[in-house]
């Protein structure tokens, strides 16, 4: 059994908007990678890895309650997804990563 990993999608240092449905609406930068394992040439597990960065006042607006409880929407760099923050730059994906055009983004106001 031979295992190989291929990259499905990769975004580096993309600008995006992180928001929720209440009051959070800040600019962030993110990295995203979507590798997929191939076992004997057959697609197996697909997973996502990434990091999120905010600067200045935006970092202070992302409060501890929003890290632990609220699902947030990130849209930009041609993608949109929901995530839950678990630390300053750590997150867990809550939905699929959708390819978008910025004029079609479903960004909560």
What confidence tens digit (pLDDT) does each residue in 58-100 have? Answer: 666 665 555 556 788 888 888 898 888 877 777 888 888 888 8
Q: How far apart are CA 85 and CA 104, in angstroms?
A: 24
Q: Domain residue spans in the chain?
A: 3-101
Residue 45 above 60 pLDDT?
yes
CA distances from 31 to 28, 65, 74, 88 (A): 10, 23, 12, 14
Residues 3, 19: Cα–Cα separation, whole Å: 38
What global pTM score does this model have?
Answer: 0.69
Residue 59 is predicted with a pLDDT of 67
**Dihedral pair phi/psi, residue 54, rounded to 5°:** -130, 155
């Amino acid at each position: 059994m031979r295992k190989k990993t291929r990259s499905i999608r990769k975004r580096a240092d993309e600008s995006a908007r992180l928001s929720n449905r209440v009051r959070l609406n800040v600019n962030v930068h993110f990295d995203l990678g979507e590798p997929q394992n191939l076992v004997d040439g057959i697609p197996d597990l697909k997973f996502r890895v990434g990091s999120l960065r905010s600067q200045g006042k935006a970092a202070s607006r992302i409060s501890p309650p929003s890290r632990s409880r609220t699902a947030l929407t990130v849209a930009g760099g041609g993608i949109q997804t929901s995530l839950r923050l678990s630390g300053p730059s750590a997150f867990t994906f809550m939905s699929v990563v959708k390819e978008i055009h910025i004029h079609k983004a479903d960004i909560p106001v």
